[in-house]
Chains A and B, each alone.
Chain A
Amino acid sequence: MSIKKDILLRINLVFVLLCGIGALIIGQAIHIQTVEGEEWRELGRTSTRIDTIHGERGNMYSGDKRLLATSLPVFEIRFDTKTVSDTIFNTEIDSLAFQLADYFKDNNQTFYKKRLTKGRNEGNRYLLIKKEVTYNDLQEMKTWPIFRYNQFKGGFISKQTNKRVTPFSLLAKRTIGYARKNAQSVGLEGSFDEYLKGDAVPTSVHLTSTGRWVPLNDDYELDARNGNDIYTNIDINLQDIVHNALHKALKKHKANHGSVVVMEVATGKIKAIANLGLGSDSTYWEKYNYAIGEKSEPGSTFKIAALTMLLEEDLVDENTIVDIEEGQKTYYDKVMRDASWYPYNEITLQKVMEISSNVGISKLAEKHFGNRPKDFIAHLDKMQLTKKTGVEIKGEPEPTIKRPGDKDWTGITIPWMSIGYELELTPLQMLTFFNAIANDGKVMKPYLVSDVLELNDHVRKFRPLVVEEQICSPQTARRVRKILRSVVEQGTAKNIQSYTFSMAGKTGTAKIAKDKKGYDKVYQGSFAGFFPAENPVYSCIIVINEPSEEGYYGSIVAAPVFKEIVEKYYSSDYKNHQAINEHRPLIAALPPAKVGNQQDLETIYNELGIKNSKTAETDWAEPITIYTDTSVSVTLKSVQMIKNLVPRVEGMGLRDAMFVVENQGYKVKFKGTGKVVAQMPNYGERLEKGGIVYLELQ
């Protein structure tokens, strides 16, 4: 045999041997698949699974870096009743039950003992002891009888979960919102979920022989990136003021719900947003984001849009005379009435706005835009009143605005739109417009979130966004602001006038459909404005839905909320308070004066050496303080009294008010002391002689 043949023989031997090993391997694989197959597949199903490890959810902060929402670890405590030996269970069950009752104070010892014993008799290996205990509780519980023997002898099972908490409880709660797994998320928690939630890392875990699920690789846990932190524009102090003011008003007027938004004029930052609705338990809570999600007919606040376009096109000016036709006008077959009667027919546009005459503004709108409705709508488009604001919260509806050519566009659409009917807006959309007036015609996009941070690094930064550079000239905006200021000083919102700080705004009262069907009508009082009047820093809207029938006017239900916000804001904010005084460094403010006998007032002001003038010779007059840079003077505005009409006594002291009311042949019932802040019926309403006028004094 040659060498080569010998070697070949050996090679073949090795080859056969290796083929044999190969066959053995395949044979073993077949064995695993068939004979042992079901066993292995079953083991695969029961002993392995993929868990998800979540990074910690990010925090949400207010503008001044206070925690609005955060996640706290909480523990669910369960008890494996079967692992505990009889000796341990029987000797320690009483003291454990005592500890549970003593620590949590929610049930007595007997209750806990029964529960534990019953669980053991049923062989429950996962008996719920307590949900959501804190880390400290957990540490404490681990020292208790039975539980102290740990999981394997004591059956103590704790499972960590995270609980979302809002440290400022109800404040802006709906806006902060919440994220849900299998349902629609709400508020910023929902909109910014992608940033907040952090990573979810799938991790393979397997069951060990000791019955614990352990991750295949411990490193995975470190890899679940935590969520980013969200910094909002919310000013928690202001939010607190707004929330409480709204709550108070809702309670007082037994309203169904209401909302308030405060926006920074120059930037569009939402500094406070409160939404309260009446719950089934008769308390108010942040039930729904009405400010952003609920649209309705705004009523008179919308007149400012009509006013702005009339002024901007130079069709009218403050002194344009309008005949308000005794507060009643028929357009085609529909009658428009003013909310209250005014003793003059031929009045200036300024007065029309002050008394919020529906007839006055609708006549001007009809006169100048009735034949060119497209321009009317074009103005609204430019004013951004026909679009969503695009605020970060989901669920903002598109405004309902009719357009010429629409099926429901009729000859009365323009007059009715001009007074805020036949169209629907959300409070925030309305406020965005008022903010633009305060901001010299520049529309800012309202926004809630300023920064998204990962630890200390910016992930995103949101800057103020100009939506529309100029909805009207700055001059027009200034003229509108002046009119809005006079609304507060001598118009429908006069009841909130203050001599320590200046405000401007417009009241609105609308009778709106309670639900979509629209048969059941309810009132909605609102107020939109800004402060300080001369150089606005904040704009604000208050909308109060379904107040009680006793007082539903915007001036009664909403405007005082505005005043309270402004008042508290200045009293709590030292810096701003100073800034207000800077405007009038030389002149002391006059103390507030009430409506009174004209002659009496004249005498007093003359005695004090204060310049005064009067508008007409009447019995009664209202002093209006006028400040300029170097002087202060008072105008005594005449107050008319008409028969069979309730006189206006708001602002008067009780003595004068009673005199005036009784002079008209009515009786007075009153409560409180000080000045009259509210009257029922409202002034200008007809009331038969002998009727009762209710006054509220403060």
Chain B
Amino acid sequence: MYTILKHLKGDKVIWFIVVALSLFSMLAVYSSTGTLAFKQHAGSTEYYFIKHTTLLVLGFGLMYLAHLINYNYYSRIAQLMLYLAIPLLLFTLLFGNDVNQAKRWLTVPVINLSFQTSDLAKLALIMYVARVLSKKQHVIKSFERAFLPVSIPVMLVCMLIVPADLSTAAVLFFTCLILMFIGRVRVSHISLSLVVAALAFITFLTIASMTDYQGRMKTWQNRLENYVAGNTEDTYQMQQSKIAIANGGMLRVAPGKSVQRNFLPHPYSDFIYAIIIEEYGLLGGIIIMVLYLAFLYRAIKIFVRSPGAFGALLAVGLSIALVIQALMNMSVTVGILPVTGLTLPLVSMGGTSIWFTSLAIGIILSVSRYTEEQEIINSSPTETGAPVDDAAIAMF
């Protein structure tokens, strides 16, 4: 145990949170795949459990590898990833695998692995925003020199995600706006981008309805109508979710005893939080909530200690993105927001998206790790071999 811990550099609390969430995830996925597993693999819930555990373990590996790399490299990697993500998004939109009329998935040839290009784009964009914000701190209030370079990629990526996955695009967009706010971009500029985004969306809808592009329009329309009027499937999901929460009570330890897993569509992904509350009571729900917020708190700690602007913004940016998605998912579960289809990061069963989350956490840990090492280095005369973070000088 000690030897493993020795290899895990960076914030130990974050490592602990990741492990805790993963354990919750394994329990909840094992329980909530009960019905689905019966259907597709003749009663073998183990199949999903093993598959999910494997994904988690591989994710852990990715996280470990990512945290070994000096975070300063990620500045350039972010740029390259974004240049790769934009054409891939476009490609997916046109030729991706069709799932529920939404083209979100791309299959990597040869290794035959499917992933959502939006997951890649999300990670790339947040890293890129952290990069640009850190580089532009000296001119951050400028419209042309700071706002445009940061908002144009944001707009572009989000618009490319919208047709297939409106909720992901919306959450990503708002996350970026929050990052811009933190990165000291003018509030008037941020408001402007909101207006532009709204206009762009309306334009898209108009064009879509005129060109007969069915796509996801019907789904959105239904969901919106349901949220307002409330009469069909989404209301059904909401009802079942609330029944699950009500069944849970305050304190309960009933692993695998969920009743609602049989009635909630996608209990293993969109509504896993409801299943957790049903099986582990409200206390279980609070623990999950606290784990996410503590994660963000630790990331802020990293920010405070980090000498470089890029690293600091990178850690905070990625953490905020993760926590916002978690909060969105939980808001849907308790009925504050309409049904979106966003998963609970690290907890929901999901294929390769777990790996992008792991990668993001690995990068946060890398920042943490090099910050810690730098503190030691600063107290000693030797130089570090890492590339010098020019933005750090500019910023602080």
Please report A residues at the B interface, Cβ cutoff 8 Å: 2-4, 6-8, 10-12, 14-15, 18-19, 21-22, 24-26, 28-30, 32-33, 36-41, 43-44, 47-48, 50, 201-202, 204, 206, 209, 216-217, 219-220, 223
**Chain A residues whose C-beta falls within 8 Å of the C-beta of B395 in the assembled complex:** 3-4
A14 and B320 within 8 A (CB):
yes
**Chain B residues whose C-beta falls within 8 Å of the C-beta of A38 in the assembled complex:** 246
How many residue pairs link A and B with beta carbons under 8 A? The number is 127
Give min CB distance, A89 to chain B, whole Å.
Answer: 31
Q: Can you list 25 A-B contacts with CB-CB less than 8 angstroms, sorted by A residue number?
A: A7-B303, A10-B181, A10-B184, A11-B316, A15-B297, A19-B293, A22-B292, A22-B330, A24-B336, A25-B330, A25-B334, A26-B282, A26-B285, A29-B334, A32-B242, A33-B248, A36-B242, A37-B246, A40-B246, A44-B243, A44-B246, A44-B259, A48-B243, A216-B265, A217-B265
Minimum CB distance partner of A223 in chain B: B39
A216 and B263 within 8 A (CB):
yes
B293 and A32 within 8 A (CB):
no
**Chain A residues whose C-beta falls within 8 Å of the C-beta of B181 in the assembled complex:** 10, 14
Give min CB distance, A32 to chain B, whole Å.
Answer: 5
Give min CB distance, A50 to chain B, whole Å.
Answer: 6
**Chain B residues whose C-beta falls within 8 Å of the C-beta of A28 in the assembled complex:** 334-336
**Chain B residues whose C-beta falls within 8 Å of the C-beta of A48 in the assembled complex:** 240, 243, 259, 262-263
A11 and B39 within 8 A (CB):
no
Please report B residues at the A interface, Cβ cutoff 8 Å: 35, 38-39, 137, 178, 181-184, 231, 236, 239-240, 242-243, 245-250, 259-260, 262-263, 265, 277, 282, 285-286, 289, 292-293, 296-297, 300, 303-304, 312-313, 316, 320, 323-324, 327, 330-331, 334-336, 395-396
**Chain B residues whose C-beta falls within 8 Å of the C-beta of A24 in the assembled complex:** 331, 336
Within the assembled complex, what's the spacing in Å between the Cα atoms of A472 and B257?
64
**Chain A residues whose C-beta falls within 8 Å of the C-beta of B236 in the assembled complex:** 206
From B231, B239, B289, B304, give the contact of A8 (CB < 8 A).
Answer: B304
From A10, A36, A44, give the contact of B182 (CB < 8 A).
Answer: A10
Within the assembled complex, what's the spacing in Å between the Cα atoms of A43 and B38?
25
From B184, B282, B293, B320, give the contact of A33 (CB < 8 A).
Answer: B282
From A14, A32, A43, give the contact of B334 (CB < 8 A).
Answer: A32
**Chain B residues whose C-beta falls within 8 Å of the C-beta of A44 in the assembled complex:** 240, 243, 246-247, 259-260
Give min CB distance, A215 to chain B, whole Å.
Answer: 11
Minimum CB distance partner of A206 in chain B: B263
Given contacts A3-B137, A19-B293, A28-B335, contact A12 B247 (CB under 8 A): no
B293 and A3 within 8 A (CB):
no
Extra contacts, 9 of them, besides A24-B331, A40-B247 (Cβ < 8 A), are A4-B312, A11-B300, A14-B181, A15-B300, A18-B320, A18-B327, A19-B293, A26-B282, A50-B262
A7 and B184 within 8 A (CB):
yes
Within the assembled complex, what's the spacing in Å between the Cα atoms of A36 and B242?
9
Given contacts A15-B296, A204-B35, A219-B39, contact A29 B245 (CB under 8 A): yes
A36 and B246 within 8 A (CB):
yes
Given contacts A36-B242, A41-B243, contact A18 B334 (CB under 8 A): no
Within the assembled complex, what's the spacing in Å between the Cα atoms of A38 and B183?
47
Give min CB distance, B249 to chain A, whole Å.
Answer: 6
From A18, A29, A201, A217, give the contact of B277 (CB < 8 A).
Answer: A29
Give min CB distance, A10 to chain B, whole Å.
Answer: 5
**Chain A residues whose C-beta falls within 8 Å of the C-beta of B137 in the assembled complex:** 3
**Chain A residues whose C-beta falls within 8 Å of the C-beta of B249 in the assembled complex:** 33
Within the assembled complex, what's the spacing in Å between the Cα atoms of A341 and B88?
107
B182 and A33 within 8 A (CB):
no
Minimum CB distance partner of A4 in chain B: B396
Closest 5 CB pairs of A and B: A40-B246, A44-B243, A28-B334, A204-B262, A10-B182
**Chain B residues whose C-beta falls within 8 Å of the C-beta of A217 in the assembled complex:** 39, 265
A41 and B263 within 8 A (CB):
no
**Chain A residues whose C-beta falls within 8 Å of the C-beta of B178 in the assembled complex:** 14
Given contacts A7-B183, A8-B304, A50-B262, contact A220 B39 (CB under 8 A): yes
Within the assembled complex, what's the spacing in Å between the Cα atoms of A217 and B137?
54
From B183, B282, B296, B312, give the contact of A30 (CB < 8 A).
Answer: B282
Within the assembled complex, what's the spacing in Å between the Cα atoms of A40 and B240?
9
From A29, A36, A50, give the contact of B282 (CB < 8 A).
Answer: A29
A21 and B327 within 8 A (CB):
yes
Minimum CB distance partner of A225 in chain B: B42
Within the assembled complex, what's the spacing in Å between the Cα atoms of A662 and B163?
113
Within the assembled complex, what's the spacing in Å between the Cα atoms of A215 and B352?
31
Within the assembled complex, what's the spacing in Å between the Cα atoms of A32 and B244?
10
From B38, B246, B289, B330, give the contact of A41 (CB < 8 A).
Answer: B246
**Chain B residues whose C-beta falls within 8 Å of the C-beta of A2 in the assembled complex:** 396
B327 and A22 within 8 A (CB):
yes
Within the assembled complex, what's the spacing in Å between the Cα atoms of A21 and B328?
9
Give min CB distance, A29 to chain B, whole Å.
Answer: 5
A202 and B38 within 8 A (CB):
yes
Within the assembled complex, what's the spacing in Å between the Cα atoms of A191 and B14?
60
A32 and B246 within 8 A (CB):
yes
**Chain A residues whose C-beta falls within 8 Å of the C-beta of B282 in the assembled complex:** 26, 29-30, 33
Minimum CB distance partner of B133 in chain A: A7
B300 and A12 within 8 A (CB):
yes
**Chain B residues whose C-beta falls within 8 Å of the C-beta of A216 in the assembled complex:** 262-263, 265
Given contacts A4-B395, A11-B303, A202-B38, contact A33 B243 (CB under 8 A): no
**Chain B residues whose C-beta falls within 8 Å of the C-beta of A201 in the assembled complex:** 38
**Chain B residues whose C-beta falls within 8 Å of the C-beta of A202 in the assembled complex:** 38, 262
Within the assembled complex, what's the spacing in Å between the Cα atoms of A41 and B243?
6
Minimum CB distance partner of A31 in chain B: B334
Given contacts A3-B395, A26-B289, A206-B263, contact A18 B316 (CB under 8 A): no
B182 and A43 within 8 A (CB):
no
Give min CB distance, B116 to chain A, whole Å.
Answer: 23
**Chain B residues whose C-beta falls within 8 Å of the C-beta of A3 in the assembled complex:** 137, 184, 395-396
B245 and A40 within 8 A (CB):
yes
Give min CB distance, A217 to chain B, whole Å.
Answer: 7
**Chain B residues whose C-beta falls within 8 Å of the C-beta of A21 in the assembled complex:** 327, 331
Within the assembled complex, what's the spacing in Å between the Cα atoms of A3 and B282?
40
**Chain A residues whose C-beta falls within 8 Å of the C-beta of B324 in the assembled complex:** 18
B303 and A8 within 8 A (CB):
yes
With most chain B CB atoms within 10 A of its CB, the pick from A44, A202, A216 is A44
B39 and A25 within 8 A (CB):
no
B296 and A18 within 8 A (CB):
yes
Give min CB distance, B331 to chain A, whole Å.
Answer: 6
**Chain A residues whose C-beta falls within 8 Å of the C-beta of B316 in the assembled complex:** 11
Give min CB distance, A54 to chain B, whole Å.
Answer: 15
Give min CB distance, A618 to chain B, whole Å.
Answer: 80
**Chain A residues whose C-beta falls within 8 Å of the C-beta of B334 in the assembled complex:** 25, 28-29, 32
Within the assembled complex, what's the spacing in Å between the Cα atoms of A276 and B304?
94
Minimum CB distance partner of B316 in chain A: A11
**Chain A residues whose C-beta falls within 8 Å of the C-beta of B320 in the assembled complex:** 14, 18
A18 and B293 within 8 A (CB):
yes
Give min CB distance, A39 to chain B, whole Å.
Answer: 8
**Chain A residues whose C-beta falls within 8 Å of the C-beta of B289 in the assembled complex:** 22, 25-26
Within the assembled complex, what's the spacing in Å between the Cα atoms of A36 and B263?
19
**Chain A residues whose C-beta falls within 8 Å of the C-beta of B246 in the assembled complex:** 32-33, 36-41, 44
**Chain B residues whose C-beta falls within 8 Å of the C-beta of A29 in the assembled complex:** 245, 277, 282, 285, 334
Minimum CB distance partner of B396 in chain A: A4
Within the assembled complex, what's the spacing in Å between the Cα atoms of A219 and B395?
59
Within the assembled complex, what's the spacing in Å between the Cα atoms of A680 and B225?
95
Give min CB distance, A568 to chain B, whole Å.
Answer: 50
Within the assembled complex, what's the spacing in Å between the Cα atoms of A651 and B183?
121
Give min CB distance, A221 to chain B, whole Å.
Answer: 11
B286 and A41 within 8 A (CB):
no
Given contacts A7-B183, A14-B178, A44-B259, contact A25 B336 (CB under 8 A): yes
Minimum CB distance partner of B40 in chain A: A223
Within the assembled complex, what's the spacing in Å between the Cα atoms of A204 and B183?
50
**Chain A residues whose C-beta falls within 8 Å of the C-beta of B304 in the assembled complex:** 8
Within the assembled complex, what's the spacing in Å between the Cα atoms of A50 and B245?
19
Minimum CB distance partner of A208 in chain B: B236
Give min CB distance, A421 to chain B, whole Å.
Answer: 55
Within the assembled complex, what's the spacing in Å between the Cα atoms of A18 and B245?
22
